[in-house]
A = this chain, B = another copy of it.
Amino acid sequence: MKLQILGCYAATPRTMTNPTSQVLEIKNHMFLIDCGEGTQVQLRKHKIKFSRINHIFISHLHGDHFFGLPGLISTFRLLGREKELYVYGPKGIKEAITLLLKLGDSWTNYPLHFHELTNREPEIIFEDDKMVVETIRLNHRVYTNGFLFKEKPGERKLNVEAVEKYKVDRAYYQNIKNGKDVIMDDGTIISNAKLSSDPPQPKSYAYCSDTGYKPDIVGQIKDATALYHEATFLETEAHLAVKTKHSTAKEAAAIAKAAEVGKLILGHYSTRYKSIELFKEEALEIFPNVVLADDGKFFEF
């Protein structure tokens, strides 16, 4: 899994900081997550091919997560896109985009599908044979979903030495990878455990922005390989976090700790603070593996 941060600052785009957007590369997909104003320029800057983006996930309809979407959709059209585009986001997103395209008489020449979200419980919104995307219910001023990107367990790993030793025919290899035992011509059963080993642990990435402190998501994101959790404020501004339904770095770390995630990635910083290092310091008091998102930063896990 590769994660490219395009923007990770709260509120308004500035000369040096961008509102929220990121690209997750997972199992051959390039998923765009949120799309603040200027996202298309960030995509160009980081040389991400527009044509590889087929799925866009929008957490909520605040401008700093969403106002880059109309322009990106229009640019896809201008670039001659023909491939289908899927947009997942809160109910209303279709009406908004459709109205803007109508006013500009600029309908896309590619199929544009909206998957509008209204569910108050987590739900699977995308699935193929290798992975799945679930919503995570968050607590913000407007209806907001996080997203949990989960690899499916892969095939078992063939034990090459063992299959040669038992002289198992190649025709059985796929069955072995699927976990089946092998019945030899003489009726002997060779158990799967002897012929294969467990597949690597499936990875998962949880994206949680924007949200107030919401410990009931812990069960769903348990053991995630990486958790991106918003930390708009420090504890010194905890009252503002409560008021605006955002989190502090400490709260993000408490979620990471309870969910025992592999790595906590902080982001969505308020620009009121002199240095984003302060967020890391605060979170490190609670949880050991903290990294800071920043515009242009790249993670692999």
A85 to chain B minimum Cβ distance, whole angstroms, is 16
Q: A179–B219 Cα gap in the complex (Å)?
A: 82
Copies in the complex: 2
Question: For residue A62, which residues in chain B have a CB less than 8 angstroms away from its CB?
Answer: 104, 106
Chain A 64-82, CB within 8 Å of chain B: the 1/0 string? 1011101100110011000
Question: For residue A44, which residues in chain B have a CB less than 8 angstroms away from its CB?
Answer: 14-15
Binds B, one of A94-102, A117-125, A250-258, A292-300: A94-102
User: Is A154 interfacial (CB-CB < 8 Å)?
Assistant: no
Q: A234–B66 Cα gap in the complex (Å)?
A: 36
Size category of the binding interface on chain A: 35 or more
A64 to chain B minimum Cβ distance, whole angstroms, is 8
Q: A79–B13 Cα gap in the complex (Å)?
A: 13
User: Is A145 interfacial (CB-CB < 8 Å)?
Assistant: no
B37/A68 in contact, CB under 8 A: yes
Question: For residue A15, which residues in chain B have a CB less than 8 angstroms away from its CB?
Answer: 41, 44-45
Question: For residue A63, which residues in chain B have a CB less than 8 angstroms away from its CB?
Answer: 70-71, 74, 100, 104, 106
Q: A90–B142 Cα gap in the complex (Å)?
A: 30
Question: For residue A12, which residues in chain B have a CB less than 8 angstroms away from its CB?
Answer: 40, 71, 74-75, 78-79
